[in-house]
Amino acid sequence: MRDDLLKEQLMSYARTAADEAAQPDAAAIRRRARLHYRRVAALTVAGVLLVVGLGVGLGLRRGDGTPTVDQPRPMPTLTRPAPAPSTTPATGRLPGTFVGDLGGRVAVVSTRTGKVVRTLYGPHPFGTDSYTVGTSPDQTTVYFSHYGGDPCAEPGVFRVPAAGGRPVRVVDGENPESMIKVSADGSRLAYVSAPCPSTGQLDVVVRDAAGRLVRRWPAASAGAGLALDGVSLSPDGRRVAVGVTDQELILLGVRVLEVARDRSIADGRLIKAPDPGCDLVVAEFQPRTGRLAAFERCVRRVSGGIARERFRLVYLDPGSGRLLSRGVAFDDPGNDLSVSSMDFDQSGRHLLYQVGSANPADGEGPHPVTGTWRWSGGRPVRIEDDRTVGTGQASQGITTGNPTW
């Protein structure tokens, strides 16, 4: 009996010693943990690379069907995320191209020659379709909308790469009837809008770059009998300048609205022409400085008491309306000219503006006064219009509408 107990105790000691010998020491435990961590990390990286590779492959496959540029295409209704605001610094160099509506198509146009570089949408038969346009600060994205004819046939604001591609609808159910202005930081859009179906009234609308509504001022909030003209956005997108007229379309001045504060258009600060006998016909915030640039239309008397009109560019303080400086000026010999739009490049140094007239002779001869002009100080330069539309047939007096940098 004792021998059996002694044998069992000896066997227990042997098992305990074997178990202790099999247990790893602290250094071995640390080595095993490092090896396990390396294996998990390697598997994780491999999984990430596999997912990324599949995503890139699928993206490239989707891009295979992009339509070629310069071909008419249907407007899709898919809304995609907006591009990030541009951080490209302004260089001050004259932009090589601008964008506008040319004979029923949205076109990229050479600044120096006026020739079409590429067509982004269209062309449609001349005289049947027109487009308002706007450009992102880095000139990589173009916004446009349809107006004229039946604007509610293609309601909305569309975005298309300036290099060419498929237009994407970012706003549905309304149509800008003015240029689409983009803030200098690329974060906001502003325009005068006509709802669909049309009510005969225009609203002032501010949206973010993805098309989400930031602020809408109904036309009725402008006050009894007031109509609205084109808009401009301050560089930071916090203020809007909009031209206002009375019921007889007599110019009253420019309202400067605070996007976050003003509840109606009538709440905006009214800025009038600083010079007597003048009206403000179009206004634009200058990038980088935030000054409000505007064209005055002034009446002056010449020999024999005959009234003559003159246009001149003025720079104003948007808070007080105080005159800061003056710029380019030109005469209106027939009292029938109009400045319909203006736009600065991102540096604020170069200005595009469009002069129109009801008299075709104003755009002809050795000294035409209508058309698209650029000014960088000194003498303004007329950008010769591309005289062909679609089929190559010569056109009569086509000018680039709503030119924008």
Q: Is residue 147 part of a domain?
A: yes
Token pair belonging to 50: 């596999």
Helix, strand, or coil (residue 352): strand
Distance CA 348, CA 90 (A): 9
Helix, strand, or coil (residue 267): helix
Quick one: pLDDT at residue 93? 92
Which amino acid type is present at position 145?
Answer: S
Nearest to 90 by CA among 276, 350, 341: 350
Quick one: pLDDT at residue 304? 72
Q: Is residue 169 part of a domain?
A: yes
How many residues in total does the chain contain? 405
pLDDT digits (tens, 9 = 90+) for 307-340: 889 999 999 999 999 999 999 999 998 889 999 9
Distance CA 86, CA 187 (A): 9
- 224 contacts 246 by C-beta, under 8 angstroms: no
Whichever domain contains 251, its CATH number is 2.120.10.30
Nearest to 145 by CA among 119, 173, 165: 173
Distance CA 102, CA 116 (A): 9
Domain total of the chain: 1
Rounded to the nearest 5 percent, the helix, strand and coil shares of the chain are 20, 40, 45
Q: Is residue 306 part of a domain?
A: yes
Q: Is residue 3 part of a domain?
A: no
Quick one: pLDDT at residue 79? 42
Distance CA 40, CA 38 (A): 6
Quick one: pLDDT at residue 45? 35
Domain ranges, residue 131: 97-404
Q: Is residue 228 part of a domain?
A: yes
Residues 6+ apart with CB under 8 A from 292: 232, 241, 254, 256, 271, 283, 284, 285, 286, 315, 316, 317, 318
| Neighbour tally for 120: CB within 10 Å | 23
Q: Is residue 333 part of a domain?
A: yes
Q: Is residue 27 part of a domain?
A: no
Quick one: pLDDT at residue 360? 81
Q: Is residue 75 part of a domain?
A: no
Sort 204 into a burial class: Cβ within 10 Å, 0-12 / 13-18 / 19+: buried
Distance CA 170, CA 52 (A): 28
Distance CA 356, CA 366 (A): 17
Residues of the chain under the 70 pLDDT cut: 1-90, 126-127, 149, 224-225, 302-303, 386-399
Quick one: pLDDT at residue 250? 84
Q: CA angle 300-377-353, nearest 5°?
A: 65
